Structure 1
Amino acid sequence: MKLAIIDTACANLASLSFALKRLGFESVISDDIKELEKADKLFLPGVGTAYKAMLNLEQKKLVEFIKNTKKPLLGICLGMQILGEFSQELNQKTLGIMPFETVKFSQKEGFSLPHMGWNDISSSHPLFKGLNGAFFYFVHSYCVKQSDHKIASCEYSEDFVAALAKNNFYGVQFHPERSGEAGELLLKNFTEL
């Protein structure tokens, strides 16, 4: 199986590659559409702002490729958020693959931002096979509060979407590559979908 990590130039791509290697999978990190088209599965990681991620994807001429791919694609953290239509973060239009908006967490007493740390999630979706109630590592100040495509939920000061799925597109708000055994099992589940 050929796995490709889309080079968004705004993520720790190596840690995802190492996590896949620990599972016995080789992956390429690339922004070359010809190379990405050879892959069986795609990963869209992201860290930072939606503005910077979208700017990088536009400059690399990857927006239309991502929007039109029929290959299974897993968006991670910011990579999940930009699958939606809009991010409040710098008022950024995003990929529009799924109908949702990314918004800032409500500021509530006793909860600091960013939301950083381990939280359990609940899901019965095949992406989370063997993982209902497992803990994953989160780092984010913005979230998706509601979506018809939600497949997993979490709570930090308020309910938010931990994972989404629509057709061949999947997204997780947490970092599976930093979530130990649970994260590795989720990555393995994705390769088996």
Structure 2
Amino acid sequence: MATEQNHDAQDLQQEQAAEQETAQTQAGTEQNEVSVESLQEQIAQLEGDLKLEKARTANAVYEAQKSVERIQRESEKHKDTVLEKFAKELLDSVDNLERAITAAGDDTSALSEGVVLTLKSLLTSLEKFGVVVVDTNNGFNAELHQAVGIAPDAKANEIGVVLQKGYSLNGRLLRPAMVLVGQ
């Protein structure tokens, strides 16, 4: 009987151990499931954070590119403004040299030849930077010419006398030509 009780006790212990093992396995599985679920949640959270940071980075790169483009546009505009002011100042020198040539008349002295060469050199330099004389041969154009009087011997809407040459810089008018127009 003691052997039987020992067997029964061993069987009972084995059953309890098996039940305990099953309980531990179920608890371990539940713990693994909880761990897997929490890890999946963490992965999802990290993926969301990564997408957000990628979007922020892309936005920062876009803003930086736009800033560079804006600065370049402003720089070009500033450069054009400075060039325009400088060219306008040089036009006074061109006018003075033309007046000196007109005042010299038919005199072909070394001084008058030097003034002519200086004027040519100055006009060549201005043309390199886009400053050109406004056309006065194709009739009156209110956008390019400023009529300051009437030329009695000129035809209607034609330029009779050019009092002061006009100039443009890269297609923009620097100074209109002052002209007398026919009636």
Q: TM-score, normalised by structure 1?
A: 0.17
Q: Relative to total residues, which structure has the larger strand share, 1 or 2?
A: 1
Report which of the two structures shows the higher radius of gyration computed on alpha carbons: 2
> RCO (CA 8 Å, sep 6+): is it higher in 1 or 2?
1
